Amino acid sequence: MAKNNTPGAAAVPQHIGIIMDGNGRWAKKRGLPRSAGHTAGAANFRTITKYASSIGVKYLTLYAFSTENWNRPQEEVSALMRLFKQYLEEALRDFMDENIRVRFLGDVAAFSPELQALIHRVEEASAVKTGMVLNLAMNYGSRAEITRAMRTLASRVQKGDLQPEEITEEMISASLYTAGQPDPDLIIRPSGEERISNFLLWQSAYTEFVYMDVLWPDFKPKHLDEAIEKFCGRNRRFGGV
């Protein structure tokens, strides 16, 4: 845990998103296979999740696997699927001691039946938790999410339950995977890259972004504190003066 500079409860953003980037480069720097980077990144994911919960974050959304990640080498995708399975099994065994509710954002139907069953069990087992909500974005792409929302609303229009002119921003938000949750206040991207990569496009209309030149496996609680400190120094006007 970070020392002395842990942000006060009033300063902690309600909803933080993190694009977990840099596992492959972390492994390459060490002459290791990319799968080793993902293993290190998965271990760090647990550390950061528990730390975020301990400092009062209400919603934490972690970008774990995008719709575009299927295009990576099959060996790497297979390694990621094994890691996801391992995490979910560990979550059912150990993580449930934490007061954290786990939700999954994305089209999980693309995963194996075994993985889908584990996803359902983790969501069901953690549904009674009253602490931080952990959103895991798996097989997630924001454009696909928005397309899905539009189809949902279009279906209602087709059935005559809704008129096109009645569609509001609130209805669109309620049709997204994050329905019922506040938009992210802060999105952090470690690794030195400075792009959004199809992550929470609708929800991040007024989100503050912090890009950090540290690879995800090396991202420590002190880096989260640093990002929150930068966030607290911003003047959020939401389009106003």
Catalytic residue positions, numbered = 21, 69
Joined tokens for residue 120: 């359902």
Distance CA 103, CA 135 (A): 5
Query: For residue 42, what are the CA distances in angstroms to 76, 79, 95, 180, 226?
Result: 14, 12, 13, 27, 21
What value does the CA radius of gyration of the chain take, rounded to a whole number of Å? 18
d(CA 216, CA 24) in angstroms, rounded, equals 10
State the amino acid at position 182 in one-letter form.
P
Could you tell me the two tokens for 22? Answer: 């840099």
Cα distance between residue 207 and residue 15, in whole Å:
10
Reading the block at residue 138, the tokens are 């798996």
